[in-house]
Structure 1
Amino acid sequence: MRQRVSFSLTLPLTLLLLLCVYESCGGSVRNTEAIAPDISSSVNPQPFLPLLAPSPLTAFTNYSIPKLSGLCTLNFSAAGNMMSVTATDCWASFAPLLADVVCCPQFDATLATLIGQSSKYSRMLALNVTHAKHCLSDVQKILEGQGANDNIQKICSIEPETLTAASCPVIEVDTFESTVDSSKLLCACRKIDLVNECCDQVCQNAILDAARTIAAIGMPNSKGVNLLPAHSTRIDDCKNIVLRWLASNLDPSSANKVLRGLSNCKVNKVCPLVFPNMTNVVKECANGISNQTACCKAMDSYVSQLQQQSFITNLQALNCAASLGVKLQKANVSDDVYNLCHINLKDFSLQGQCCYICLNK
């Protein structure tokens, strides 16, 4: 029986983090008199009406109307509210911390949906490099105007070439639909189970099949494409084309849900943390622990370096713990240091540190 767990970081968690930081810094409410009604003897008293609370994002979002290039033909309104969702998920201060888990998957989904929705009229599933530069710049400006980080492209490793077909030979909708079993693809991906999809891979397999089919176009031996690994450059580029086609055949909200669900499966497969040098841990913990206090101090210091890198999901933390365990074993650390030093999954991520601060104020 599969355990059904949701791994997405939501806005309430972010607001909780802000509250923790605010209160831990001694935040207070000032000028409370300003919200009281002005009552003087020279005027008739006015009834006291409670003020409507501002949006929780108001204090942290700098809304502005950007000046766009005028050279991008993408229909930004066709993406519905995805632009504002992306701006929220890529908040200026939090984008680097939430990059792999929240910001970049949402940014990728928005770009795919923008191109997909626009393909209904352009009949093209990719942009040329020049057009892509203008569009990517405009998207960045729109998101910045809604409070997003001004460096999302670098944070998420998005280049203008990302919006092109790259090495995939198919960019026209008509060619795609005449080559791929589009009804089968749409049936598999129109609505996905956000938990079971990561295990059953129904939609992912349909996307891979479609990508292999269009990747075979132009190859001297059509069977040769089946020999390419699932994550070869040509296959990956064609997967992007498939995702844009899917986004064009779903409403923006459904497209976002499907694309984010697929990205969650991808995100949770790997550990995004970078493991620093383990010299001190090996020195204190390898070849049998002679001083448990010194070993645990070294482990705590090492894990704290990992913890400060990023927010990660529970599954990512599990993968990171397993990866670190393998590295420790290879370094002759044979004792169960996780148990001895009371290290658990939350210790591998910033959210564990946040919870510790909030609960131990």
Structure 2
Amino acid sequence: MRGGFFSNFIKFQIFTSVLLIYVNELYCAPLSYFGYPAPNGGDLFPMSPKGAPQPLIPFLAPSPLTPFTNSTVPKLSGVCPFNFTAAESIMGLTATDCFTAFAPYLANVVCCPQLHATLVILVGQSSRDTKLLALNETLSKQCLSDVNQVLLSQGANDDLQQICKIRASNLTEGSCPVKDVKEFETAVDTSKLLESCQKLDIVNECCSQTCQNAVSEAARNISSKLGDLTDVPQLSDIAEDCQSIVLRWLASKLNPSRAKEVIRGLSNCNINKVCPLSFPDTRHVAKKCANVISNTSMCCSAIDSYVSHLQNQSFVTNLQALNCAAALGMKLQRENVTENVYNLCHVSLKQFSVQAGTQESGCLLQSLPSDVTFDKISGITFLCDLNDNIPAPWPSALQLPASSCNKTVNIPALPAAASGEVGLHMKHHWNYLVMLLSFVLVLC
């Protein structure tokens, strides 16, 4: 294959009438995790006497564009100030991003960031009428229930609160001392804030931090209402709660679509700094690979087995994959694995993400915010990067988080959009492959 690190993408067009999702008995979630009703009262995952899982054929999700006014919309509480009709497009996109079967696997990059952004937008837009940038505890519970019901009616996973760790308190002011719009606008240079964020450059923001700095400054200004916070142990919580207030104010001044782009752009700056995967005990790998490796085959078998279990967790972005490779490498180094086993065992970056198809091609998502799309013809669609088998870099003694901003770190070439070189997109031919279900999205 030719081209740069991310010059080849795969476009998943998942036709729900033929999609097969295999779930391993030992390592994958039970049926209830996917939220599908079993036909005729039976189990969608009937197990043979030997325990071999049978394929699941998911049902077609309701269209995310279903009008909120039709008879299928669940009955709402009637007391929540959210204008769901005005936010129809954002709610529909959120339901698709959090589509029932895929929500757990797209949670950290797509679904949960979009759900968080949606809640910020709903509170912000409602403040135009309420003049408040937060809900009280009672309204928070009722509004969160309403949001869940609307999303569920459009095909979203019914366990989003657990998956995305959403609580009713996320809609309140938390520990931030300001929630009144007038008080906020008195304490903050709103012109500067709006100028810095309304035209957020999604490609360069994570490096320039133009909007991030403006949000942080505004949050400090309103948190100062509490007085001297030098010795306050909950300082980080106060800062986070006040930043939520700032984002809600921004969402009240922008249309929902633009507000979504700003909030998702800011959240991705944090998402790409970390590895979202959890690493179980590596002692078995260390035992086979530590010090001088006497049996390369046994070491690589242990590495392959360990990494294959990581692939059951989540889709990750290209930058997250770099951080995951570094995190696992450093964990192994602490257990006396001194040789570059990534090179020895041909471990590539795409192996840290969910694998797609019989070719076991790892699906790396873009480092920029992305969404899932749905239509009745092609079904669920999202873009995955099939890179050129870039080897996972073995971490050095001073490992820094992967970043397209740090030009001194020797990491594989980053996607053009993430490094600010937008023009490169026009120079390359992007190859899109359609995944019909002769390819299988292997989640286990």
TM-score, with normalisation over the residues of structure 1?
0.82
User: Percent identity, aligned pairs only?
Assistant: 53
SS in 2 for 1:71: coil
SS in 1 for 2:316: coil
Q: Matches of 1:280 and 1:98 in 2, distance apart?
A: 29
Question: What are structure 2's unaligned runs of at least 5 residues?
Answer: 23-57, 67-71, 362-434
The alpha carbon displacement at 1:282 in A equals 0.5
TM-score, with normalisation over the residues of structure 2?
0.67
Q: Matches of 1:274 and 1:217 in 2, distance apart?
A: 39
The alpha carbon displacement at 1:230 in A equals 11
**Contact conserved, 1:307 with 1:353, CA < 8 A, in 2?**
no
1:50 is aligned to none
The alpha carbon displacement at 1:360 in A equals 7.8
1:297 is aligned to 301
Q: Deviations over 1:164-214 (max 9, x none)?
A: 001000000000000000100111100111121111111111111111110
2:99 corresponds to 1:91: yes
Q: Deviations over 1:93-145 (max 9, x none)?
A: 11111111100000011110011011011100000010000000000000000
1:148 is aligned to 156
**Contact conserved, 1:110 with 1:256, CA < 8 A, in 2?**
yes
RMSD value, Cα: 2.8
2:184 corresponds to 1:176: yes
Question: What are structure 1's unaligned runs of at least 5 residues?
Answer: 25-56
2:138 corresponds to 1:130: yes
Q: Matches of 1:314 and 1:23 in 2, distance apart?
A: 24
Describe the shift of the 1:349–1:23 C-alpha distance in structure 2 as closer, same or farther (beyond 3 A): closer
**Contact conserved, 2:311 with 2:351, CA < 8 A, in 1?**
yes
1:61 is aligned to 62
Describe the shift of the 1:348–1:240 C-alpha distance in structure 2 as closer, same or farther (beyond 3 A): same
Q: Matches of 1:197 and 1:211 in 2, distance apart?
A: 18
Which of 294, 314, 325 is residue 310 of structure 1 equivalent to?
A: 314
**Contact conserved, 1:270 with 1:316, CA < 8 A, in 2?**
yes
**Would you tell me which structure has more strand in proportion to its own residues?**
2
2:272 is aligned to 268
**Would you tell me which structure has more helix in proportion to its own residues?**
1
Q: Matches of 1:229 and 1:212 in 2, distance apart?
A: 16
Describe the shift of the 1:230–1:189 C-alpha distance in structure 2 as closer, same or farther (beyond 3 A): farther
1:110 is aligned to 118
2:298 corresponds to 1:259: no
Please list, as runs of the form range in 1=range in 2, the aligned pairs for 1:1-361 lying within 5 A after superposition: 13-16=11-14, 21-22=19-20, 59-61=60-62, 64-219=72-227, 221=228, 224=229, 232-351=236-355, 356=360
The alpha carbon displacement at 1:78 in A equals 2.6
Q: Matches of 2:192 and 2:239 in 1, distance apart?
A: 19
Describe the shift of the 1:5–1:188 C-alpha distance in structure 2 as closer, same or farther (beyond 3 A): farther
SS in 2 for 1:216: helix
Aligned partner of 1:59: which letter? Answer: L
SS in 2 for 1:15: strand
Aligned partner of 1:292: which letter? Answer: T
Number of corresponding residues: 318
Q: Matches of 1:355 and 1:232 in 2, distance apart?
A: 45
Q: Matches of 1:230 and 1:355 in 2, distance apart?
A: 49
Q: Matches of 2:233 and 2:102 in 1, distance apart?
A: 35
Q: Matches of 1:230 and 1:198 in 2, distance apart?
A: 26
SS in 2 for 1:77: coil
Aligned partner of 1:337: which letter? Answer: V
Q: Matches of 1:350 and 1:5 in 2, distance apart?
A: 18
Q: Deviations over 1:254-308 (max 9, x none)?
A: 0011111111111111111000111111010001110000000000001011111
The alpha carbon displacement at 1:73 in A equals 1.6
The alpha carbon displacement at 1:66 in A equals 0.6
Q: Matches of 2:353 and 2:340 in 1, distance apart?
A: 20
**Contact conserved, 2:300 with 2:341, CA < 8 A, in 1?**
yes
**Contact conserved, 1:116 with 1:246, CA < 8 A, in 2?**
yes
Q: Matches of 1:179 and 1:305 in 2, distance apart?
A: 50
Q: Deviations over 1:187-246 (max 9, x none)?
A: 110011112111111111111111111011022x3xx46x87997000000000000000
Aligned partner of 2:98: which letter? Answer: C
Q: Matches of 2:21 and 2:338 in 1, distance apart?
A: 42
**Contact conserved, 1:208 with 1:230, CA < 8 A, in 2?**
no
Q: Matches of 1:76 and 1:354 in 2, distance apart?
A: 42
Aligned partner of 1:151: which letter? Answer: D
Q: Matches of 1:18 and 1:352 in 2, distance apart?
A: 15
The alpha carbon displacement at 1:354 in A equals 7.1
SS in 2 for 1:148: coil
Q: Matches of 2:16 and 2:349 in 1, distance apart?
A: 22
| Greater relative CO (CA pairs within 8 A, separation 6+) | 2
**Contact conserved, 2:283 with 2:335, CA < 8 A, in 1?**
no
Q: Matches of 1:58 and 1:266 in 2, distance apart?
A: 34
